[in-house]
Amino acid sequence: MSIPVTTVQSDSRPGAFAISSQPATALHRATPATLAAVLEQLPSAQARWARAAGFDAQPGRILLLPGMQAEVQREGQSEGAALAGVLVGVDPDQPLWQLAGLPAALPPGTYTLTDADEAQRPHLLLGWALGALPSTRQARQSDAATAPSLALSLARLVASPDEQAAVAPMAAAIGEVRRLVNLPANQLGPEQLAQAVADLAARHGARYRQWVGDELPAAGFALVHAVGRAAQTAAQAPRVAELTWGDAALPHVVLIGKGVCFDSGGLDLKPAAGMRWMKKDMGGAAHALALADLLMQAGLPIHLKLLVPAVENAVGAGALRPGDIIEAGDGRRVEIENTDAEGRLLLADALHHAIRSAPTPPALLIDLATLTGAARTALGPDLPALFSNHDGWAEALLAQGRAQADPLWRLPLWAPYRRLLRSDQADLLNAASTPQGGAITAALFLESFVPPELPWLHLDLFAWNLEERPGRPRGGEAQGLRALYALLSQHFASARSAFA
């Protein structure tokens, strides 16, 4: 079965999609439960081929269906080019990833979905686009000259111009998160990360400013300065980058991304295995940048502030020490229990600054961070932990996670554990001395910097794929991004929040 199509370019990767005007090969999705019904709809010769080949529609299985000779001659194709269709085994519970392996696995050409599942179609198209993104190796090795040849080696899927326009920004945002997280620390230090915020501001006509090095304590960022002051070069100097966009009369939304460009653990030094991938400890900042970009592209009627505290948690003569007491931006004194609990110190100062400098009380505060190993122990690598002081916002985000196939799991802000952050020498500890409940105590530390009347969402995420899977190369990964964007775009589509 074929229909006419015309190839166009997509921002996810040139040639990932096509629209109608030349022959396209049919894609037939099937599960073990639906396979018999799907085969009934095929020409008898194709159905016999599938049965003879033992195709069982297990997820990830692909079977190419050869065209009949008469059809080949009628369409003027060479015999080697005859492909009548493709059977694809899919997992019905994972619509986003059903097609993600196909752009690289199928023969080059143009394909069309035979089933019109309108509810799943946006997920299917985004999954295809993500499968068409360069792999980690290709992204590192490709340039503008080689990108077209990479695109020509991929299959293309028929999608309308409107569908492509809807998919492209999110696919590009996910690709940018991956790219930033995958960069080594010698190529993405605090200076370069702050420059990424400046470049984003310039693209959208937003206002940008930063505080660097010894400017930080006087500006209310003494915790940020303390974490990053041991870095040895000017490019590694700690800094806070701020982007402000939109009319100050609109609802004020704050995004904060943890930007630890490399985390050695400080004087509480990580072991080698724990330090190996700590270039990714700026994954929260990468997410915040990508989300801010999406919101500004959409022209959402909000007043947006993006804050990225960017540091390297290094070992040096000026390194933060266990037992040091630092005055936070809100005036409270924080005793350092562990120098490897540094990310929450950055977020604390950023939260205080965002609230103090807001033109109106924020309608929503969001922070994103690769914060604790405890969250990964509890939930594994694929499921970000969500903490919130507001049930309405939390439940709405969880619902969007389910709707967008971008799941999160809410963990409690268990108030009795606040006792674990008590200090004999200061107002609070930066970490509990006990290893239990580490994600909760980290979130409780941050919650103490947020007035209870201000809604706040805290995402503790991994930002990394440990293994290669279709559409998900090993390395940096976006988590919670689609759910957050859907939440914000729905609730701030007008200038009034549903939770006001």
**Residues with catalytic roles:** 270, 344
Q: Within 13 Å and on the Cβ side, how many CA atoms surround 100? A: 23
Closest by CA position to 426, among listed 500, 499, 345: 345
Angle 481-491/161-182 helices, nearest 10 degrees? 130
CA 256 to chain CA centroid, Å, is 14
Give, in degrees to the nearest 5, the angle at Cα 477 between 283 and 480.
Answer: 80
111: phi then psi, degrees, rounded to nearest 5: -130, 155
| Beta carbons of 236 and 334 less than 8 angstroms apart | no
> Any idea how long the chain is?
500
256: phi then psi, degrees, rounded to nearest 5: -130, 130
Spatial separation of the C-alpha atoms in residues 364 and 332, rounded to whole Å: 23
Q: What is residue 231's three-state secondary structure? A: coil
User: Residue 388: beta bridge partners?
Assistant: 457
User: Residue 253: beta bridge partners?
Assistant: 304, 364
Q: Within 13 Å and on the Cβ side, how many CA atoms surround 282? A: 36
CA 224 to chain CA centroid, Å, is 24
Sequence-distant (≥ 6) Cβ neighbours of residue 169 within 8 angstroms: 11, 294, 297, 298
| Beta carbons of 196 and 261 less than 8 angstroms apart | no
Integer-rounded Cα radius of gyration of the chain = 25
- As given in the structure block, the two tokens for residue 430 are 């930066």
Closest by CA position to 405, among listed 88, 130, 86, 135: 130
- As given in the structure block, the two tokens for residue 341 are 């609990």
Classify the C-alpha dihedral 299-300-303-305 as positive or negative.
negative
| Beta carbons of 371 and 363 less than 8 angstroms apart | no
Sequence-distant (≥ 6) Cβ neighbours of residue 143 within 8 angstroms: none
Which run of H or E residues covers position 405?
none
Which run of H or E residues covers position 86?
strand 85-89
